[in-house]
Amino acid sequence: MDTVLIPTSPELTESDIQLLSGYAKQLGKARSLPRKAVRSGQNLSKKKGHGIELQEVRPYVASDEVRHMDWRVTARTGTPHTRVYTEDMEHRTCIICNLSKDAYFGTQTTFISSRLVQIAALIGWRHYQLRNPLGMITSVGHDAEVIPTITNWQAWSEHLASLTQIINRPYGKASFSMPNQLKLKGTNVLILSDQLEIDDINRARLARLAQHNRVHWVSLEDTNTFLIPDGVYQFNSQDTTQQISQANRDIAQQRYLEQESHHQKLLSSIGITKLTFSVNDSPVSLVKTLLSMGVVH
């Protein structure tokens, strides 16, 4: 059994998180996208370069450098072509991981909470291996924990594993929140969250964040959620039960679709792209998709 796709338990351990470092080495190359301009006056932050990378091969124009001519393509096509390079800059990323109580649920492979943490772990290990700086902000109902730049990767592994513990479920909130005055500029921000509600205060904070950074929101859904058979259900850690019937399934699904549509429009209005995937997809394939889209580096 693939224990990455279907973990032995949705409550991941530190070993589960560290195991993903090996998979992070196999993720491949990310797609290069232009960096979002930082609208902060005339002072542009300096970024450390790692070298140069090939962006494209295109027809030669008079302003191009002759030393970058691609003679092989020129010979094959019969027209001069040149290679265009871009500086491979230091890729600074910040992951914001917020979970509601509904994230601690899944019907087939694992919980949404566990899969989101696996995605965070794979991206984190990739940054560790490429020596790119990574920050992280996490919240499961309690005050947000902010790590500007991860340096203690063992403690980070322990923290990620702790987010998947079912004991967190009662504290998960439906509404997204983030710390005020985040000093992020020119950063690739990835929000991993199942939350669908955003109040006016946090909407304004997200809008400010999107002004100075490239922000994507990644969420997961379980398509089987609204196909659960009729019956009475109970979480092992709780005394209360939940009655499931066709009527309340229909009501829940309609409410979810309305919230999802509103959430998508709200994020789009402030310049944030939302991407939704299936929780039953492999976390490795999900991160590869994000790499191919240029969402992560």
Q: Interior CA angle at 111 toward 91 and 296, to 5°?
A: 10
Q: What is the pLDDT of residue 213?
A: 94
User: What's the CA gap between 297 and 245, in Å, rounded?
Assistant: 44
Q: Is 122:296 a contact under the CB 8 Å cutoff?
A: no
Q: What is the pLDDT of residue 51?
A: 52
For residue 48, give both structure tokens. Answer: 């450390």
Q: Is the pLDDT of residue 254 over 50?
A: yes
3-class SS at 278? strand
Q: What is the pLDDT of residue 49?
A: 46
Range in 24-33, 55-64, 264-273 with the lowest mean pLDDT? 55-64
Q: What is the pLDDT of residue 65?
A: 75
Q: What is the pLDDT of residue 41?
A: 41
Q: Taking residues 191-212, what's their average pLDDT? A: 96
| Contacts with 133 (C-beta within 8 Å, 6 or more apart), sequence order | 90, 92, 93, 127, 149
Closest among 181, 171, 187 to 202, alpha carbons compared: 181
Q: Is the pLDDT of residue 294 over 50?
A: yes
Instruction: Report the topology of domain 14-32+90-292.
Output: Rossmann fold (3.40.50)
Q: b or e along 10-49 (b: 16 or more beta carbons within 10 Å of the residue's beta carbon)?
A: bbbebebbbbbbebbeebeebeeeeebeeeeeeeeeeeee
Instruction: Say what the pTM is.
Output: 0.80
Split at pLDDT 50, 70, 90, the class of 142 is low
Q: Is the pLDDT of residue 95 over 90?
A: yes
Q: What is the pLDDT of residue 103?
A: 96
Query: 282: which DSSP letter?
Result: -
Q: Is 204:182 a contact under the CB 8 Å cutoff?
A: no
Q: What is the pLDDT of residue 63?
A: 61
pLDDT in tens, 148-172: 999 999 999 999 999 999 999 999 9
3-class SS at 142? coil
User: What's the CA gap between 221 and 282, in Å, rounded?
Assistant: 13
Closest among 127, 134, 108, 128 to 2, alpha carbons compared: 108
Q: Is the pLDDT of residue 86 over 70?
A: no
Q: Is the pLDDT of residue 46 over 60?
A: no
Backbone angles phi, psi at 91, to 5 degrees: -100, 105
Q: Is the pLDDT of residue 31 over 80?
A: no
Q: Is 73:57 a contact under the CB 8 Å cutoff?
A: yes
Greater confidence (238 vs 104) lies with 104
Q: Is the pLDDT of residue 47 over 50?
A: no
The per-residue pLDDT of the chain, averaged, comes to 87
Closest among 110, 111, 271, 90 to 191, alpha carbons compared: 271
What residues does each domain of the chain span? 14-32+90-292, 49-89
pLDDT in tens, 4-14: 999 999 999 99
Greater confidence (51 vs 39) lies with 51
Query: 212: which DSSP letter?
Result: H
Q: Is the pLDDT of residue 34 over 60?
A: no
Alpha helices in the chain (DSSP H): 14-24, 71-77, 112-130, 153-163, 200-212, 246-269, 283-292
Query: 131: which DSSP letter?
Result: T
User: To the nearest 5 percent, what fractions of the chain are helix, strand and coil?
Assistant: 35, 25, 40
Q: b or e along 117-147 (b: 16 or more beta carbons within 10 Å of the residue's beta carbon)?
A: bbbbbbbbbbbeeeebbbbbbbbbeeeeeeb
Q: b or e along 201-231 (b: 16 or more beta carbons within 10 Å of the residue's beta carbon)?
A: ebeebbbebbebbbbbbbbbebeebeeeeee
Percent of the chain with pLDDT over 90: 66
